[in-house]
Amino acid sequence: MRDDANDAPQTVTGSPMYEFDPNETYKEIVYRDTWKTHRPPAYFEYRQLWDEVPRLRKELDFPIHLDIETTNICNLKCPMCPRTMLIERDEFSPLGMMTRDEFASIIDQGVAHGVKSVKLNYLGEPLAHQDAVWQVAYAKQKGVLDVMMNTNASLLRPAKAIELLEAGLDNLFVSFDAISPDLFEDRRVGTSIGRVIDNVYAFVKVRNERFPHVQVRLSMVMYDDPKWREQFEGMKIMWKHLVDAIGYGFYTERDPDAQGDFPEVPGFWCAQPFQRMFLKYNGNVTICCVDDKDETVVGNWREHPLATIWNGDAYRSIRRLHAEGHYYDMPMCRKCYLPANG
Ligand SMILES: C[S@@+](CC[C@H](N)C(=O)[O-])C[C@H]1O[C@@H](n2cnc3c(N)ncnc32)[C@H](O)[C@@H]1O
Ligand code: SF4
């Protein structure tokens, strides 16, 4: 429970009022945070901003963070992934990779406006881009404080691990769904558990030797089923002496035919439109992590400057709707699991 009196939960017509928590849908066990002792003071200021801006529903001139879909290509075909579902329905965007000029322009604009962090993926596998190491190095050389990626780690061969660490990658978030080879390979179609274990092990070894400021976290997609709880228990034993944290997020329904509206949660507002901006490979700029189908497009980063999009009428009115407690006026937000999981 928050100790700030202004944030104390209130009651509206008998139902509990939403209490803001930016990390509510992700459960995590932290084994060590020694990497934090190697981060500069600016890192902690940025993390404070990350929490404070959405909590106080502050309007910034530019997002704190950019999610950059450097490529929408992936080497795997995970059945739970919205990308896989959209490809099977023939509804996914044309595949491709950002050019170096496009990536540099995004980073240059971000840095000019004081962006603090970037994540180098949305849908797609960031290490499928041949420029992944160059992208990390470019962002770090330009002064981005925190550079991260989610990866299936199947392409993270030991040589690539060293290159990424030397380029300056700050956080590696590995998707790792099971300890049983059959279950793992059923979820992560196109790779093997042994290959991914070897890759993560090699990365952690070099991290421990030379890059202690780097965070390594593993996460699985969880299902409401004892079988998957058991896998997570196994993950804890398997990884707790190797990685910094292990977490899970529940499977969220991404099949458009199976999605429906959740009941309204009084008082809810979403953190993401206040913190971050999503740049899809196809050019679309979207407002949150769940919009895999580009339902709420607020601009095109190939056509307009990022600051113009962030400060445009479309983005501003969405932030206002959320800030004033009207998130449910947005059809996309009605279908979102985040309010209901608070
Ligand atoms: C779409 S992937 C893209 C990055 C990279 N290819 C990877 O697999 O980590 C980003 C994250 O979304 C998770 N994910 C995929 N489908 C999901 C679903 N239906 N519900 C919840 N998480 C999902 C993946 O496990 C991964 O951690
Ligand atoms: S590796 Fe990531 S992007 Fe690729 S199919 Fe699996 S979850 Fe989706």
pLDDT of residue 254: 78
Tell me the two tokens of residue 95: 């595949």
Q: What residues of the chain score a pLDDT lower than 50?
A: 1-16
> Is residue 150 in contact with ligand 2, taking CB distance under 6 Å?
no
Instruction: Give the H/E segment covering residue 215.
Output: strand 215-222
197 CB-near residues (< 8 Å, 6+ apart) = none
Contact, 271 vs 18, CB < 8 A? no
The pTM for the full model equals 0.93
93 exposed, middle or buried (CB, 10 Å; 0-12, 13-18, 19+)? Answer: middle
Ligand 2, atom 3: nearest CA belongs to which residue?
124
84 CA closest ligand 2 atom index? 5
Residue 121: C-alpha distances to residues 69, 95, 152 (Å): 4, 14, 11
The ligand placed nearest to the CA atom of residue 177 is 1
- For residue 201, the CA-to-ligand 2 centroid distance in Å is 20
- Alpha helices, H only, 211-304: 226-239, 272-275
Q: Which residues of 110-145 are buried (b: 16+ CB within 10 A; e: fewer)?
A: beeeebbbbbbbbbbbbbbbebbbebbbbbbeeebb
180 exposed, middle or buried (CB, 10 Å; 0-12, 13-18, 19+)? Answer: middle
Residue with tokens 């990866």: 151
| Greatest alpha-carbon span in the chain | 59
pLDDT of residue 255: 77
Residue 54: C-alpha distances to residues 22, 48, 253 (Å): 8, 11, 25
d(CA 29, CA 27) in angstroms, rounded, equals 7
> Is residue 76 in contact with ligand 2, taking CB distance under 6 Å?
yes
Tell me the two tokens of residue 84: 């896989």
pLDDT of residue 253: 82
> Is residue 177 in contact with ligand 2, taking CB distance under 6 Å?
no
pLDDT of residue 252: 87
Q: What end-to-end distance do the CA atoms of the chain give, in Å?
A: 13
pLDDT of residue 8: 30
> Is residue 249 in contact with ligand 1, taking CB distance under 6 Å?
yes
Contact, 172 vs 216, CB < 8 A? yes
pLDDT of residue 77: 97
